[in-house]
Structure 1
Amino acid sequence: MRLIRLWPDDSRFDFMKFRRFSFPLSALFSVVTVVLLLTVGLNFGIDFKGGTLMELQAKSGQADVGKVRQAADSFGFGEVEVQEFGTAGGISLRFAIQEGGEAAQSAVVQKARDTFGAEYEFQRVETVGPRVSGELVQSGTVGIILAVIAVLFYLWFRFERELAVGAIIGTLHDIVLTLGFFVITRHEFNMTSIAAILTIVGYSLNETVVVFDRTRELMRRYKTMPSVDLLNLSINNTMSRTVMTAVTTALSLLALVLFGGRAIEGFAQVMLYGVVICTYSAICISSPMLIYIGLRGSEATKTVGGKVAPAE
C-alpha cells in the first residue's frame, strides 16, 4: 500500500528566496512589539495586578452571564471581568484590587455573596494583594529569563557556533512576537501566559533542532554545496515532518479554541499563534540567517570553468 506523502520526496522548492520578505517583515513586527511594550504594556491579570477572583456555579445549571455582569458592574468596585468557565453554569468574576486594604477586599466578597448567593454556589474565592502580585511578577519574570538562558546554553553546546547563533536568533524572535500577540490582542497576561510562552519556546527549539540536525548532516555529506542549496535541501528533507507536526498540533489547538470554553480559550489562541510563528521562524528566519552568518566550510566551493561544481 502506498503511503500518503505530505511533501514530495524529490522536492527542490526554494525557501531561501523568501528571506528578502521575511527578514524585513519580522524586523518590523519586532520593533512594533518593543514600542508597544514600552508605551501600552501588557494587560496583566489578577495574578500580577492583584484583586479578587470568584468562581460561581449556578444551582439551576444555567448561568445568566449578562445579568451577572450587569449586577457586578453596579457594585461600584471598578472594572469587573465576568466570563463563563468550566462546565455549564460556571461563571468567574474578577474584581480589581480595591483601595483600603483587606477590609475593602472583604467588602467586595461580601457584596457578591449577598447578591448572588441565592442563585449561585461560591466554589472558589481568592484575593491577591499588591505584595503577592508583585512577588508573582518577579517570580514569573525570573522563571522566563532562567528558562530562556538555559535554552540558549543548550543551543550553544548542541550545535556548532554558526548553527547555534541562528537557533538563538530564531528562539528570541518567537518570544518577541508572542509578546506582541499579547500586547495587540490585549489577552490577559497571567501565570498561564508564562506557561504558554515557555511551551512555545520548547516548540520553537524542537522545530529548529530538527532542521539544523539535517543541515549539519548534509554539511558533512555535501562539502562543496553552496549555502543556499544546502539549506533548501535541509528544509525540503524535513518538510514532511514539519507539516505533520504543525498540522496535527494546530488542529488540536483549534479544537480547544472553538470548543474549550472561555477558561482556556486565551491559552489555546496563544499556543495556536505560537505554532504558526515557530514553524515560520524555523523556515524563514533561523535557516536563512545562516546564509549571512556563514556556514563552516560552505564557502569553500570547488569551481570548474568559473561554475560551481555539482554536489558530491
Structure 2
Amino acid sequence: MPETALADTPAPKPTKPGAGRKGLFGGRIPIARLRDLALVPAIVVIAVVGQIVNPVFLQVDNLINVLQTMSEIALLVLAQTMILIVKKMDLSLESTMGLAPGVAALLVVPSGVGPGLGLLPGAWSIPITLAVGALIGVVNALLIIRFGLNGFIVTLGMLIVLRGVLTGISGGQTFFQLPESMLYLGTAQWFGIPASIWICLALFAVAIVALGWTSFGRSLYAIGGNVDAAKTAGIRTDRVLWIVIVTGSLLAALAGLMLSGRLASVASAQGNGYIFTVFAAAVIGGISLNGGKGTMFGAFSGILLLFMIQNVLTLAGVPAQWIGALNGLIILVALTISRITGGKVQE
C-alpha cells in the first residue's frame, strides 16, 4: 500500500546550518564559487581594453595607483560584505570613514591651523580614530540587536547624524597639517608597494580564510540563511552580530585613516557617496542582499572591476561629468553578465 511504503521510507536527516556548501577545493564554505569567478573574464577584458585605449594602463605605476585608490573603499566593501552575509546592512560606513579621522584631526591638529584644537599629541590620532569607529559600531549594534530596530533605518539615521557632526566640528573646512601618525598608512611604502595595498590584501586574505575555514565564518552564513535555525544549532547569534557590526565600523575608521593619510587632509565631506559604490561592488561580486550567500573573493573582484573601469574611462579622456553616468551603466551591465554567466546573484 502507498501508505505503508511512505511509512517505511526513512525520514530525511535534518540539514545543519551551513551544510551543503561544498567549495571548489572541498571546504564547507567555498573560497570562490563558480559565480564569483564569473567576474574574472570581465576583469581580463577590461585589462585588454584599457591597454588598447592607453598603453599606460598596464604599467606598474598605474596599476599601483589603481590598487592604492581602491584600497580605502575596498575595506568598506569588506565590512559591508560581512554585514550583508548576516542579513544586515550598514549605510553609515561612509560617514564613519569621515568622522572617525575627523575627530582625531580636531583633537591633534594644532590650534590655529584650520579648525584644529591641538588638545592631544599627534601620537593619539590612530587610537582616537579607531575608538570613534568602535563607538559608532557599538551604538549601531545596540540599537539594532538590543532594541531590535530596523538596521536600514538605524544606519541611515546614523549616516545623517555622523555627516552632520563632521560638518559641525570642522565648520565646513578641511583639516590639514595632519601629524605623521595620521599620514603614515596613506604614504608609507613596504617593499616598494604602498602600505595601504598590503593592509587591504592582508585583511581580505584573513577574511577569506575566516569565512571559509572557521566556525565563526560558518556562523555568519548560518545566521544569514536562517537565524532561528542558527540559534537552534547553538550559535550565539547576538554575539556574532555584535562582532560583525563593530568590526565593520572599525574597518571603516581604518579606511578613513588610509584615505586621510594619502590625501594629507580630512575634508568635511570625506566618504560622502561611497556607499553606492560599496553596495554595487558587493552585489556585482555575488553578495546577496538577503543574507547567507557570497564570498570575499567575489566582493574583492567586484571592487577591483569597478576601479579598473573607472581608470580606463579616465585614461580614455572621458569628461568627468559623464564618468558617473557611465559607471552606473557599466554596473548594470556587469551585474547582468555576472547573473547570466554565474547564476543568480540574489535570491
TM-score, normalised relative to structure 1: 0.28
Between the two structures, name the one with larger relative contact order (CA 8 Å, sep ≥ 6). Answer: 2
TM-score, normalised relative to structure 2: 0.26
The structure with the greater share of residues assigned to strand is: 1
